[in-house]
Structure 1
Amino acid sequence: MENKKLLRAKPYEMGVDPKAILNFINVLEEKQLSIHSFMLMRHNKVVAEGWWKPFKPEYNHELYSLSKSFTSIAIGFAVQEGLLTVEDYVVSYFKDKLPCQPCENMKKMKIKHLLNMCTGHSVEPDIMKEGQDWVYLFLTSYVDCEPGSIFVYNTPATYMLSAILQKITGITLYDYLQPRLFEPLGISNVWWELCPKGISTGGFGLNAKTEDVAKFGTFLLNNGVWEGKQLLNSEWIKKASSKVIESLSNPETADQWPKDWIQGYGYQFWRCQPEGVYRADGAFGQFCIVMPNQDAILAMQSGEEDTQTILSCVWDILLPAMKDDISKDTVPEDKESQMALEEKLSSLIYKAPAGEATSPIADKVSRREYEVSENPIKLTKIIFDFADTNKVTMTLGNESYTAEIGYQKWIDNQAGLNKEDKKVFLQYNDISCAGAWIKEDTFRFETLFTRIPTKEIFEIRFHEKGISMSFESKNNFSAIKCNMMGW
């Protein structure tokens, strides 16, 4: 497949102030927001893009729930082709899966209820279990409210959209999108996780590059048109991106929610605070922000829990830098600001641990093997080598790997674990490490998983007869924090 790169332009040529982009980046860093990459587009051209080292443009990145918006577009294609309608009943596609009658509200559930997260479940059903049939578990879940009556965020509902599409077409959602979306847009070498029954997970699991997300945003901004061809009916995108349902079920709890999560929900898209703006949104700061009034797109990939602050920075800094009248806006060329922006973009780096390069005790503790106490990450042995370069060898279960640890820089490594598990290998194999001595007896190093948002932090204090160690895993759905001993 031809890799179609997006067109590039200087910010001022597209009516964007480069000083505002520079300020946006600086504020993100001042607030210590863990951004991995971004790509800003206006008038269908990229005006600024950056990757914080060690993250790279060619890396696929887990999109989490941003995947849901791709699923919505797939359903739009299926509607366009007459394969289904949003008024179809969910159970009508799975009569073979029902050994007994489903509950009454399950029988009332339609495809449109899956799309706008109003299935009638008061709590998201727990169906995503290893080795089990997720469709069967969904269909046999109890639906306690009338479908359409209440918004409850529901990733299994999006999975059911994928399952319905595969039931109709005989191919996965991923394969279905190949000739309709991915190939026309030049989105290649992406992948989508599968459930135990071989169905694309739908509500999560798409892994793609920042530019792929920007292409998707451009397709949305242009209402389904790509290179002059109408791929998808514009009415579907307008409906999917509009407020179909209130995303705040109880107005009395409004102050308990981030502002950009209570603006309404469409067909797998979130509405935003600024007028006309909507977004595809994945956990830990995976964003495809569409700004029709500004004729602009912002794609971001991150490893950050405070995602509302990221969005607030976009609204407060970037939006004012783009004039509302997109037919007449111009920004005078500012060569000095443009050079400063380009220099900043070329030198972005994820903040590495601060401290000293070495310690008086480094030679003494170097190359000593420590047996580690029982712990939730299954680390059994650890060895540090502080000779020429800092290295750590860790044994997890029956597998070991050695990683080089940079000082004031990130060094790429291969974990080499779980080669038989495609998902684990693709998402967890590429790591980058940096560390420093934060005290004479304490070494801290961090591991960034460069295909997902996860960061791991190890802090090791060396004693005369052993080590005490703290560990924290951040920016994932199974975050772990624990202490260990070694001897």
Structure 2
Amino acid sequence: MTSGITHENNIEMLKFDDYRTYFLSQKVEYKPGTYYKYHSATSHMLGAIVHKITKKTLKEYVDQKLFIPLGITNYHWADAKEGISFGGYGLSLNNDALIKIGQLLLNGGTYKGKRYISKAYLNMATKPQSIKQDYVDNPNTKAIGYEYGFQFHISPNGSYRADGAFGQIIVIYNGLAIISTAQYTDYEFLYQKIYDHFSNIYEGNFDNEILNSYLKNLTFIQQNKDKFNLRQTFEMNANPLKIKHVKFSDDYILLTYENGQTDEIYYNFNQDSYGVSYFAKDLYMIKQPHWVIPNVEEDKLTLKILYIETPFFAEYKFKFKENHVTLEFKPSPNFLLNGFTVGSKR
């Protein structure tokens, strides 16, 4: 992260047919190696170098050397437009995979007795190699810290971590590998809580009977509500999602896009509703499995779409007035979409 490039604009990068060209088009403000600035395209160039040397994409190389030997096969890695794995972000791993990687790091590069990462390299990668100069003396980064290794963040207490976007992390601290897959993105708060809680490790005996009794009583109560009764189709004004029509029925909405593709989103006030719909996934808009939470208030219908095994969600809030509907779209933080409000054509 010390390439000397200080300006990052991922939306601008997506306009390029080759993300390596985007990186090379950036102005180098500082002598490489002297100034820290987080820059996803810089990490992508490391992946491009791996591809150049090994003749394998990052996905192919990591599959061969690490993932398949560890039994990590159920994951997604986004490709850049030039046809190689994107090295800046776009790797989606489930909890099982994160636990295996956490155990690998905790063991200093070994897993089930076999070495996969050089101990000497890992020692270098997890020790300070550069200073995040903008973080020094910042009261909001006391737990986050101001040091960086080789693609690992270093905290003042000596712990290190792999930070994923939007709350997905692996922290190695106090002899533990701590995994978080949350939608919470206040990292300073999150890390401070982790360090406070795990600074002393309880070594006594747990009462499994009390624990199991508590877990059995955990439940989610869903209130029964009447159906939302509306059978009407609206033509929408121009909007960033390029939704052309919205059709309402008793238990679903049908979104039709300008390119002819559709999203049929079912909802039910009395039971869970699952389906698939388009949302931002790293570099692209793709169909993803979701869970729907509906809510109705007089002239409003709100559908909160939670995308399964991701930190992403989207809220569609429809407000009706006579023969007109207004859509307020609010997505969770992501790399492609912003919120907007649009009305139907009159």
Q: TM-score, normalised by structure 1?
A: 0.64
1:132 has 2:5 as partner:
no
Aligned partners of 2:226 and 2:269 also within 8 Å? no
Partner of 1:18: none
Partner of 1:396: 257
- Counterparts of residues 280-429 of structure 1 (less than 5 Å): 280-291=162-173, 293=174, 295-317=175-197, 319-320=198-199, 322-323=201-202, 330-340=203-213, 342-343=215-216, 347=219, 357-358=225-226, 362-363=228-229, 366-386=230-250, 390-397=251-258, 398-407=260-269, 410-415=272-277, 424-425=285-286, 428-429=287-288
Shift of 1:429: 2.6
Partner of 1:43: none
Instruction: Find the aligned partners of 1:157 and 1:301 in 2 and give their Cα distance.
Output: 25
Partner of 1:434: 293
> Which region of structure 1 is more displaced relative to structure 2, 125-134 or 171-180?
125-134
Match of 2:317 among 459, 467, 487: 459
Q: CA RMSD in A?
A: 2.8
Shift of 1:159: 0.8
Instruction: Find the aligned partners of 2:172 and 2:294 in 1 and give their Cα distance.
Output: 38
Point out where structure 2 has 5 or more consecutive residues left out of the alignment: none
Q: TM-score, normalised by structure 2?
A: 0.88
Structure 1 residue identity aligned to 2:289: D
Higher normalized strand content (fraction of residues): 2
SS at match of 1:457: strand
Change (3 A) 1:172 1:341: farther
Aligned partners of 2:78 and 2:86 also within 8 Å? yes
Structure 1 residue identity aligned to 2:153: W
Instruction: Find the aligned partners of 1:407 and 1:315 in 2 and give their Cα distance.
Output: 40
Instruction: Find the aligned partners of 1:308 and 1:468 in 2 and give their Cα distance.
Output: 37
Change (3 A) 1:357 1:321: farther
Change (3 A) 1:331 1:299: same
Structure 2 residue identity aligned to 1:158: S
1:120 has 2:20 as partner:
no
Instruction: Find the aligned partners of 1:474 and 1:231 in 2 and give their Cα distance.
Output: 36
Structure 2 residue identity aligned to 1:339: N
Change (3 A) 1:404 1:190: same
Identity of aligned residues (%): 24
Aligned partners of 1:191 and 1:206 also within 8 Å? yes
Change (3 A) 1:441 1:448: same
Runs of 4+ in 1 over 4 A off after TM superposition: none
Change (3 A) 1:436 1:141: closer
Instruction: Find the aligned partners of 1:226 and 1:370 in 2 and give their Cα distance.
Output: 56
Structure 2 residue identity aligned to 1:301: T
Aligned partners of 1:248 and 1:262 also within 8 Å? no
Match of 2:89 among 198, 204, 207: 204
Structure 2 residue identity aligned to 1:173: L
Higher normalized helix content (fraction of residues): 1
Instruction: Find the aligned partners of 1:258 and 1:135 in 2 and give their Cα distance.
Output: 31
Structure 2 residue identity aligned to 1:431: H
Instruction: Find the aligned partners of 2:74 and 2:170 in 1 and give their Cα distance.
Output: 19
Partner of 1:53: none
Match of 2:29 among 123, 126, 144: 144
SS at match of 2:262: strand
- Equivalent pairs, count: 341
Point out where structure 1 has 5 or more consecutive residues left out of the alignment: 1-116, 324-329
SS at match of 2:124: helix
SS at match of 1:290: strand
Instruction: Find the aligned partners of 2:180 and 2:244 in 1 and give their Cα distance.
Output: 37
Shift of 1:336: 4.2
